[in-house]
Structures are given as structure tokens and as C-alpha cells.
Amino acid sequence: MKKIVLILSVILCVAVSCQDAVTITKELKQSSVTLNDNNLSTGKTAELLLVMDKNWPEEVQDSVYSLLQKPQVGLPQEESLFSIYHINNDLFKGDFTRRANIVYIDVNASYTEAECKMEKNPWSKPQIYAHICAPTKEAAITCLAANRDQILYAMFDNDIAKLQVVQAKTPNVELQDYIQKKFGILMTVPQEYEIGREGDDFLWLLYRTKKNDRFIMIYTSPNKKLTREAMIIKRNYITSQYIEGETKDIHPKITEYANYPLHQPLKIWSKEGAELRGLWETTNDYMGGPFYQFSFININGECVTIDGSVYAPEEKKRVYMRQVEAIVKSVK
């Protein structure tokens, strides 16, 4: 393990000090693939296909794994952004080329320098293909280290896009129409969701199974502030009013610690707003989990918030959170 950490540390230092030797493609090249049922990308949610020589020394392969298994923020337990499915280069053909997220590492002495090229939808849709070519293993890993965040976040967004395609195939049309009438927004709601509670400016949607619950809240507020503090106050107020437990002193609230919840500006389609990501807990109870929300100001000057959260005490939450985030980000 010490040997693996040492190799990775050296590689990361090289990546910082030798940026000029690495070509970084900032804009994704996009193919003209048209989406249909025959070319929808494959693979599991939160899965990355790594195409790399399996005969490389174990410590080198482990260094690549360490780079690609960056933790996802906003979860109660550590989970990586992606699980890795590793195949050898000679197997990359046929169905493997349709995987949604692909990192292909090609090492050949004929290359004069390391380069990372990213392409959108080369064989299927939605798809992100990151091709790293380099003259040596060390140069390839240095290139991957320099481009790691750009690759992983593009693939995270691609996962959201793929989930939205799947969710749109089995919508709860009646519920979607009701949301449009009540809040003036278009969004995709899968057929498994139903109304759990409602108020004049509030709607709580539930998808419950024996092992976990997924929730979507939609609410409006006259408070137009989209700061971190304002969004925390609004969510805590809404949950205290509408999501009561057995007694009035039991209700969800945002967990504030370190830099959480995370806040940043976000634009979805034409809607300029802000996102909030973090954890919720229940006052005077033991329930809790992750949440994600997007807020924006509508044409009537109201703040509209769409909030997705998960309660899955005995399971990993990465995939469930990605599913509710896809619903939140489907707003138009």
C-alpha cells in the first residue's frame, strides 16, 4: 500500500509541475449520433468502463484505480463517483463500445507526448469517451491525473442525462400535468412516485420500497434570495411545517458541518439559479440521508425549489441520489 501511495503522490506532483507537457482538450468533440432505442448507451448507473492493459504491474494499475475512484460529495458514507469495470484493450469492440462512460488508456512508444481527448457520443448516446494516449505508463497516468476531474464530472453529467432518458420512458403523466398546473414547470416524474402530502405552495412526492425511500419536494417562496443561508432556512422551515413525524418536534432538517451543505450557482436550460447538496437529519429521531436541490426565480418573482432526498439506512446511496438528482435536473 505504501508503494502505491508513493507512486500516486509522485505522479500527482508531476501532473502539477508539468502541465505544459500534457495536452488537455477542454471542449468535447460531439458526433452526430441520433438517440434511439437501438443506440442508447449501456452499462450500470455510476459505472465506468476502463480499457487498459491488464498486464501492467499491479501498483501501476492501482494508481489508475485510485485516480478514478474519487469520492462523491454529499453522501453520509464514502462512495466513489464510479465503480470501475476493467477490460483489456483487445476486448474493446462490439457491445463494449456502447458503454456510457469509457476511459481508454493507450501506451505506445510511437507517441511523442501524452494527450487526453474527450468525445461525446461516438458510438452511442449519451456517451463520454476519454482517450488517453502516451509514450509511457508514467506519462499516461500523469495525463490522467491532470484531466481526472474534467473526465469524471463530464461522466457524472452524462450519467444524469442517461437516467433522464430512461426515466422519461415511463413517466407519471397525470402527476407531471398536475405539477405543471400547480407550479408552472415541466419536469419528468417516474411512474413509481405518488403524492404523499400537499399544501398551497408545497408538494411532497414519495417512492417507497421495503428497504428505502426516495422523496421529491417542490415548493415556492416569496423570498427571492438564493444564498446558501437563505436556502437552508427555507428548506428547514418547509420540512418543519409539512414533514412532521409522530409529534411536532420530529421533522427533517439540514445537517450543517464543515463546508456542508455545498452551494453553488447553476443554470438548467434557461433557469438561472443555485444548487444545494448535503445531508439531512431528523430532530429527536434517528433518520437521515443525503439531499440535493435546485432553486430558481420564476416569471412571477417567486422562488421555486425542487428537492430530492433519499432514506436508505441499510444500503449505499450513490445510485439512489443520482436518480433523484436526475429528476430535479429535468425541470424545464
The pLDDT assigned to 106 comes to 97
Q: Band the pLDDT of 154: cuts 50, 70, 90.
A: very high
User: What is the bridge-based pairing of β-strands 128-134 and 114-120?
Assistant: antiparallel
How far, in Å, CA of 321 to CA of 332, rounded? 20
The pLDDT assigned to 58 comes to 95
- Which segment of 160-169, 228-237, 239-248, 265-274 scores lowest on mean pLDDT? 239-248
Give the N- to C-terminal CA distance of the chain in Å, as an integer.
48
Task: Find the domain containing 292 and state its range.
Answer: 173-328
> Is pLDDT of 64 > 80?
yes
Q: What mean pLDDT is reported for the chain? A: 90
> Is pLDDT of 193 > 50?
yes
Question: Are 179 and 295 found together in one domain?
Answer: yes
Question: Are 68 and 147 found together in one domain?
Answer: yes
The pLDDT assigned to 35 comes to 56
Residue with the bigger pLDDT between 247 and 324: it is: 324
Residue type, 286: Y
Question: Are 139 and 202 found together in one domain?
Answer: no
The pLDDT assigned to 39 comes to 87
The pLDDT assigned to 28 comes to 47
Average pLDDT over residues 74-93: 97
pLDDT digits (tens, 9 = 90+) for 240-272: 999 877 667 788 999 999 999 999 999 999 999
Q: Band the pLDDT of 27: cuts 50, 70, 90.
A: very low
CA–CA distance from 287 to each of 7, 164, 213, 267 (Å)? 41, 28, 11, 31
The pLDDT assigned to 248 comes to 72
Question: Are 161 and 203 found together in one domain?
Answer: no
Boundary-marking domain end, from 143, 167, 191:
167
> Is pLDDT of 293 > 80?
yes
The pLDDT assigned to 6 comes to 34
User: What is the bridge-based pairing of β-strands 114-120 and 22-24?
Assistant: parallel
The pLDDT assigned to 30 comes to 46
Of 59, 63, 151, 69, the C-alpha closest to 104 is 151
How far, in Å, CA of 29 to CA of 124, rounded? 14
CA–CA distance from 237 to each of 61, 92, 100, 195 (Å)? 49, 52, 39, 20
With H, G, I as helix, E, B as strand and everything else as coil, classify residue 283: coil
The pLDDT assigned to 25 comes to 38
With H, G, I as helix, E, B as strand and everything else as coil, classify residue 242: helix
With H, G, I as helix, E, B as strand and everything else as coil, classify residue 244: coil
Listed in order, strand segments (DSSP E) in the chain are: 22-24, 29-30, 47-51, 83-87, 101-107, 114-120, 128-134, 194-199, 202-208, 213-221, 252-255, 262-268, 271-282, 288-297, 303-311
The pLDDT assigned to 33 comes to 47
Question: Are 226 and 320 found together in one domain?
Answer: yes
Per the CB < 8 A criterion, the answer to whether 290 and 72 are in contact is no
Report the percent of the chain where pLDDT is more than 70.
Answer: 88
Q: What are phi and psi of 283, to 5 degrees?
A: -65, 135
Question: Are 54 and 26 found together in one domain?
Answer: yes
> Is pLDDT of 159 > 80?
yes
Question: Are 234 and 258 found together in one domain?
Answer: yes
> Is pLDDT of 9 > 50?
no
> Is pLDDT of 129 > 60?
yes
Find all residues with CB under 8 Å of 21, minimum gap 6, and list them: 113, 114, 139, 142
Per the CB < 8 A criterion, the answer to whether 25 and 303 are in contact is no
User: What is the bridge-based pairing of β-strands 101-107 and 262-268?
Assistant: unpaired
With H, G, I as helix, E, B as strand and everything else as coil, classify residue 250: coil
CATH number at residue 163: 3.30.379
CA–CA distance from 75 to each of 139, 174, 277, 289, 317 (Å)? 33, 32, 9, 7, 7
Question: Are 55 and 157 found together in one domain?
Answer: yes
CATH number at residue 281: 3.40.1000
Per the CB < 8 A criterion, the answer to whether 166 and 329 are in contact is no
How far, in Å, CA of 310 to CA of 323, rounded? 10
Give the three cell numbers for residue 80: 466513489
> Is pLDDT of 3 > 60?
no
- Which segment of 27-41, 170-184, 206-220 scores lowest on mean pLDDT? 27-41
Average pLDDT over residues 173-200: 97
Q: Band the pLDDT of 16: cuts 50, 70, 90.
A: very low
Residue with the bigger pLDDT between 123 and 31: it is: 123
How far, in Å, CA of 261 to CA of 281, rounded? 12
> Is pLDDT of 285 > 90?
no
Number of domains in the chain: 2
Question: Are 135 and 50 found together in one domain?
Answer: yes
Residue with the bigger pLDDT between 314 and 28: it is: 314
The pLDDT assigned to 95 comes to 96
Question: Are 86 and 136 found together in one domain?
Answer: yes
Boundary-marking domain end, from 167, 197, 212:
167
Question: Are 99 and 25 found together in one domain?
Answer: yes
> Is pLDDT of 7 > 60?
no
Question: Are 319 and 292 found together in one domain?
Answer: yes
Of 20, 19, 79, 24, the C-alpha closest to 47 is 79
